[in-house]
Structure 1
Amino acid sequence: MSGASIAAYAAWDVTASISTVSLASDLESGEEGAAPPPSIDAIDGGVNLLLVGSDSRTNQGDAYGEDEGGELNDVTMLLHIAEDHSNATVVSFPRDLVVDLPECPEGGGYTAPINTALSQGGLACVALTVESLTGLSVPFAAEIQFNGVIEMSNAVGGVPVCVTDVIDDPYTGVYLEPGTHPLAGADALGFLRTRHGVGDGSDLGRISSQQVFLSSLVRTVKSDSTLTDFGKLYGLAKAAASNMILSDRLASPDTMVSIALALKDMDLSKVTFVAFPSYSADWVPEGKVAPDTEAAEILFAAIRADQPVAVEAPGGIASVVDPNAPAEAAPADPAPAEPAPVDPAPVDPEAPVDPEAPVDPEAPVEPEPGSVNADGSTVLPSNVKGQTAADYTCSVGNE
């Protein structure tokens, strides 16, 4: 009875702190929050959850600069958890990605950077934009601001982050020497915000640096038994509820805990972080990027089919493999291939190819993007950068 009372109070305490917003899918059901929350267990069916980081300074204090009244979704991430909970994919959308914004309550219906969606119609508009861009349904969404990132990083007890070169960014106030740093609170926020201090100073570099943090975060919460401790899980749920705006279907402590539990037994190598593929184009404004629709379709076709994905190699513009990674986590170097004997005879380029000719089984074969590996993962194009949670990586500073 005491345990049940404590659990009931914990659930009530979390619920009392929640601020909610309705997504389009909630309103289409005819009743806000109509979908019943799942039980505290792994959620049945694949899960798509949108996480939006707002740059709004409203009610955030004076530490982040002047409140200019705007609100941009400078961080937009989509988490997909497979139906059988065997794998998960997190896609980061560059803030400067120029897309077609759908019709939203307060605007939209034109082409603009994706980070303007929040100002056009709030969290619901960002969800509609991501649905339009990916072909996925997004029933769960959450928005977090600066102070919320501080509280959430404190709730997990900090995250160890590896740095290869000095990160010195006066814009966010972060200064980190080479080495591994346990980041929590304002330090974690500063690291996640910095783009001038990492890689090439771009938002694409910031995404790969954020993946260093996120992969370490997953390893941290799995290694310290957070996902098997209901007290810790409800503590995280409380921190989230107090510092985030949640969609109606996510606004239940049971739902939040259930989504966390879906990751409990997942292999770290099956949790993959990728950046939405993009490129510089003449038709987008300077400093913005266009979506690589062909590469993106391979990525999201795999997610829609509930398949895991595989990046070519871990790392990105602002991240590299940690040279001091644990031996079992370091990627294995393939054995050097024996050089094939060279036929000195000239080759006639117009000679017919014999389909019956034997194929050298030792010859390396590059997997085609969109093909499926032996483990069932879809091979992503080389310009889809990212890593798995099993990949120990370091953020590359840019003084």
Structure 2
Amino acid sequence: MPSARRTPGRGRVTLARHGVLQTRHPLVSILAMLGVVLGVVAVSATGITAYNVWAAAQTVVDNAVVLDADKPLPPSLDAIEGGVNLLMVGTDSCEGENAKLSTACMAGDTDGERNDVTMLVHISDEPRRVTVVSFPRDMLEPIPSCPKEDGSGNYSAMASQKLNVSYSYGGLTCTVMTIEAITKQEIDFAAAIRWSGVIAMSDAIGGVDVCIGEGGISDPEHTGLTLSEGEHTLQGWEALQFLRIRHGIGNGSDLGRISNQQQFMSSMVRKLQSDAVLADPARLLTLATTAIGQMQKGELKLSSGLANPTLMVQIAMAVKNVPFEDIVFVQYPTRYSDDALRVYPVTEAADQLFAALEANEPLTLTGDPSQGGGVEVTGEVVQPEPTTEATPTPGASPGTDATTDPQQRVELPSDIAGQTADQTTCTVREGK
């Protein structure tokens, strides 16, 4: 079993760094990985299914913790204690079957491998809240001296580079080190998934509903995606390209794409917490076994600590009934450079965000839903009934945290764009 260390002030034991960052394979989108985590958690609601998933995962995860080699036991169905930070990174890899999914790959217009999608998922201690922070790929940041993949030494530190080069200098380990330096937060686990893995997971979920605003969107040159105005249920190739599209939406930048991805994640969370998924054991089992299949194919990679199926269930149990208003998707705050080709961090606003997360304070967004004009808020949704029995507090709505005084919610600076899972948004076409 990997060694462990106590994290000061967090009241729990986390896996040591050398047990966390053993994934060096290509990555692409974080979004499906969030679905995996929530899906496994949902599966854990039924003991038989949880045992089947756990037993199958043991056969494909080299570093999973074996509780008893002679007589395996199913995982605990209790939620993990304390908070958790997971980093999910996606790259623009052109390896294998992923190459045919990108026009840049097919044209030979891209070199190397970069982290085009970088998200930090923070799950708080009780009362449970989930905050997903997206980091713009073009944000200029120092890159630390990262170890080389072959163990032959370290790359040189760099004073200012686009964030998306961090993966090129040391893989996932370097991206984790970079985000830890930016946020001053310890990252417990990391995960990666390739483009074809995103397609498989969106199919297993049964598609995700998205909204396209007036005039529709079209990007024939880069992603090949065209969607008419209105509601669409996306899965497979269309889901992947919706997550990748930036030309044709908002201001055509990565900041617009981030908000598009947040719309997708928000809708996916609502679906996974709804009866459409939680009440369908067959779909839950399909979701879990698809994740395992992607692991076997090498399309889905988990850090060694996260690959422990017991821990996966415990993390999932922690987020299972979080109120939609406390599932918050934000973009790390930035400002444009003079040439608008890159962005600079707005650290003062970011410091307020991470201070609120460390104090486990409920958040209220005051900024726009997108820094890149990618989406607009169109309404709100009602939280479904909790999927586990709980003793309600008089006057409290189902699924809400009755112990939280709404007046005590922290208002984030308007520099921080984003949305909550109880908000519905629509993608805005470029130039609107």
Q: Structure 1's 93 and 6: CA in aligned 2 closer, same or farther, altered over 3 A?
A: closer
Secondary structure at 1:190 match in 2: helix
Code of the aligned partner of 1:298: Q
Return the offset for 1:69: 5.1
Aligned with residue 354 of structure 2, among 300, 307, 319:
300
* Structure-2 residue corresponding to 1:95: 137
Q: Structure 1's 232 and 302: CA in aligned 2 closer, same or farther, altered over 3 A?
A: farther
Q: Which runs of 5+ in 1 are unaligned?
A: 22-36, 330-371
Code of the aligned partner of 2:95: T
Structure 2 contact 381–424 (Cα < 8 Å) conserved: no
Matching of residues 253-264 of structure 1 within 5 Å:
253-264=309-320
Structure 1 contact 268–389 (Cα < 8 Å) conserved: yes
Aligned with residue 201 of structure 1, among 252, 267, 273:
252
Could you tell me how far apart the structure 2 residues matched to 1:155 and 1:14 are? 17
Q: Are residue 70 (structure 1) and residue 70 (structure 2) matched? A: no
Return the offset for 1:226: 3.8
Matching of residues 161-176 of structure 1 within 5 Å:
161-165=210-214, 166-170=216-220, 171-176=222-227
* Structure-1 residue corresponding to 2:124: 82
* Structure-2 residue corresponding to 1:125: 174
Secondary structure at 2:125 match in 1: coil
The C-alpha deviation readout for 1:118-173, integer Å capped at 9, x for no partner, is: 11111111111111111111111101111111111112111100010311012111
* Structure-1 residue corresponding to 2:193: 144
Task: Look at both structures and tell me which one has the larger radius of gyration over its CA atoms.
Answer: 1
Q: Structure 1's 328 and 148: CA in aligned 2 closer, same or farther, altered over 3 A?
A: closer
* Structure-2 residue corresponding to 1:42: 79
Structure 2 contact 381–423 (Cα < 8 Å) conserved: no
The C-alpha deviation readout for 1:170-191, integer Å capped at 9, x for no partner, is: 2111110110000111110010
* Structure-2 residue corresponding to 1:273: 329
Could you tell me how far apart the structure 1 residues matched to 2:53 and 2:382 are? 39
Return the offset for 1:13: 2.3
Q: Are residue 378 (structure 1) and residue 413 (structure 2) matched? A: no
Secondary structure at 1:250 match in 2: coil
Structure 1 contact 200–398 (Cα < 8 Å) conserved: yes
Could you tell me how far apart the structure 2 residues matched to 1:250 and 1:138 are? 12
Return the offset for 1:326: 6.0
* Structure-1 residue corresponding to 2:429: 397
Q: Which runs of 5+ in 2 are unaligned?
A: 1-45, 65-73, 149-154, 384-403
Structure 1 contact 20–246 (Cα < 8 Å) conserved: no
Matching of residues 201-280 of structure 1 within 5 Å:
201-224=252-275, 226=277, 232-233=283-284, 235-241=286-292, 242=294, 243-280=299-336
Code of the aligned partner of 1:192: L
Secondary structure at 1:103 match in 2: coil
Secondary structure at 1:62 match in 2: helix
Return the offset for 1:255: 2.3
Return the offset for 1:234: 5.3
Code of the aligned partner of 1:114: L
* Structure-1 residue corresponding to 2:57: 14
Secondary structure at 1:394 match in 2: strand
Q: Structure 1's 193 and 4: CA in aligned 2 closer, same or farther, altered over 3 A?
A: closer
Q: Are residue 192 (structure 1) and residue 239 (structure 2) matched? A: no
* Structure-1 residue corresponding to 2:344: 290
Could you tell me how far apart the structure 2 residues matched to 1:298 and 1:326 are? 26
Could you tell me how far apart the structure 1 residues matched to 2:244 and 2:63 are? 25
Secondary structure at 2:267 match in 1: helix
Return the offset for 1:109: 1.3
Q: What root-mean-square deviation, in Å, do the aligned CA atoms of Structure 1 and Structure 2 show? A: 2.8
Structure 1 contact 108–117 (Cα < 8 Å) conserved: no
Secondary structure at 2:112 match in 1: coil
Code of the aligned partner of 1:276: Y
Return the offset for 1:11: 2.1
So what's the TM-score if we normalise by structure 1? 0.77
Could you tell me how far apart the structure 2 residues matched to 1:226 and 1:251 are? 23
Could you tell me how far apart the structure 2 residues matched to 1:7 and 1:319 are? 37
The C-alpha deviation readout for 1:223-243, integer Å capped at 9, x for no partner, is: 136457776555434433423
Aligned with residue 109 of structure 1, among 144, 149, 157:
157
Secondary structure at 1:200 match in 2: coil
Moved more, 145-154 or 384-393: 145-154
Structure 2 contact 380–423 (Cα < 8 Å) conserved: no
Could you tell me how far apart the structure 2 residues matched to 1:139 and 1:124 are? 12
Could you tell me how far apart the structure 2 residues matched to 1:234 and 1:375 are? 41
The C-alpha deviation readout for 1:212-257, integer Å capped at 9, x for no partner, is: 1111111111113645777655543443342312111111223223
Moved more, 55-64 or 183-192: 55-64
So what's the TM-score if we normalise by structure 2? 0.71
Moved more, 91-100 or 119-128: 119-128
Moved more, 49-58 or 186-195: 49-58
The C-alpha deviation readout for 1:246-279, integer Å capped at 9, x for no partner, is: 1111112232232222221111111010000001
Could you tell me how far apart the structure 2 residues matched to 1:225 and 1:180 are? 17
Structure 1 contact 19–245 (Cα < 8 Å) conserved: no
Could you tell me how far apart the structure 2 residues matched to 1:304 and 1:38 are? 29
* Structure-2 residue corresponding to 1:153: 202
